[in-house]
């Protein structure tokens, strides 16, 4: 074999090896996981926050149209975008997402009356209060009234029915899915919640609503309302967390005592 033929043979083997390595690396390549998105805004008390501090913080969020969010603080973005953010933050007619906290568990008519003047209500938070028992807090998304409905009562009733169906279905199960430490007690509190909701007992402890700062202040002034906390106008739906303040949390936002017996459903 000539020298030229040997060189060509070696080069051919090298090409085959390179192609094989590329194929193997391509097969093994995995895309990096996508970030779920960072939730920089939140409504409701932080874990362990003193209730009086949270109530003051919620009231402060309604002092100015912009509240205390990124737009008001002037963070990030180029000058033009920042100017737009500042204009939105100071606009008294800009609508804002807000958590309306009940002074006590409300019935559907009570809850509807509290937010009657707000242009939108998109979330319902439910808990049946029981002394000495940490009852579950469940939230559902609401739609606005459909054609032929003159008010929000049917919407809120549908929201409560969603809660009962979710609790009756029980927590997700399967390999790798964490389960409550006391599944029997969790099932008992869920069944009690369903029973009392269907009996018409008060169970609404919070609403996620939207309105202007002035509209939200009017809601906060009602005697049945414990607090209204608003986000800045630039907060985006489903990009903020909600932590409802429970009626029985009177000192701080700690887990409720859970040593009492669960009443029969």
Q: How does pLDDT run across 228-263, given as a tens digit for each residue? A: 999 999 999 999 999 999 999 999 999 999 999 999
3-state secondary structure of 68: coil
Looking at per-residue pLDDT, the higher value among 182 and 65 belongs to 182
pLDDT of residue 166: 96
* Residue scoring higher pLDDT (70 or 78): 78
Does residue 4 carry a pLDDT above 50? no
Give the Cβ contact number of residue 144 at 10 Å.
11
Distance CA 111, CA 214 (A): 19
Residues 212-234 as b or e (16 or more Cβ within 10 Å = b): bbebbeebbeeeebbbbbbbbbb
pLDDT at residue 10 in the model: 45
Task: Give the number of other CB atoms < 10 A from CB of residue 106.
Answer: 23
Nearest residue to 85 (alpha-carbon basis) of 238, 217, 240, 235: 235
What is the band of 65 on the pLDDT scale with cuts at 50, 70, 90? low
Q: Are strands 120-126 and 204-211 parallel, antiparallel or unpaired?
A: antiparallel
What are the start-end ranges of the E strands in 75-189? 96-106, 120-126, 138-141
């Amino acid at each position: 074999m000539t020298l030229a033929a040997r060189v060509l043979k070696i080069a051919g083997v090298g090409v085959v090896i390179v192609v094989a390595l590329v194929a193997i690396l391509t097969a093994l390549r995995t895309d990096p996981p996508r970030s779920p998105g960072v939730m920089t805004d939140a409504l409701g008390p932080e874990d362990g926050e003193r209730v009086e501090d949270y109530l003051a913080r919620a009231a402060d969020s309604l002092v100015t149209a912009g509240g205390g969010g990124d737009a008001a603080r002037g963070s990030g973005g180029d000058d033009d975008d920042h100017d737009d953010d500042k204009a939105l933050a100071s606009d008294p007619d800009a609508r804002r997402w807000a958590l309306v906290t009940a002074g006590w568990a409300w019935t559907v008519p009570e809850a509807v009356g509290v937010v009657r003047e707000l242009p939108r209500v998109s979330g319902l938070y439910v808990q049946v209060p029981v002394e000495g028992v940490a009852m579950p807090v469940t939230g559902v998304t609401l739609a606005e009234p459909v054609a032929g409905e003159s008010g929000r009562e049917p919407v809120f009733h549908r929201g409560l029915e969603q809660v009962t169906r979710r609790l009756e279905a029980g927590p997700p199960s399967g390999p790798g899915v964490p389960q409550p430490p006391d599944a029997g007690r969790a099932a008992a509190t869920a069944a009690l919640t369903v029973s009392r909701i269907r009996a018409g007992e008060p169970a609404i402890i919070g609403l996620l609503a939207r309105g202007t700062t002035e509209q939200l202040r009017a809601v906060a002034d009602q005697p049945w309302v414990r607090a209204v906390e608003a986000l800045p106008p630039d907060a985006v739906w489903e990009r903020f967390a909600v932590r409802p303040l429970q009626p029985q949390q009177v000192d701080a936002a700690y887990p409720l005592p859970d040593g009492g017996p669960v009443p029969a459903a």
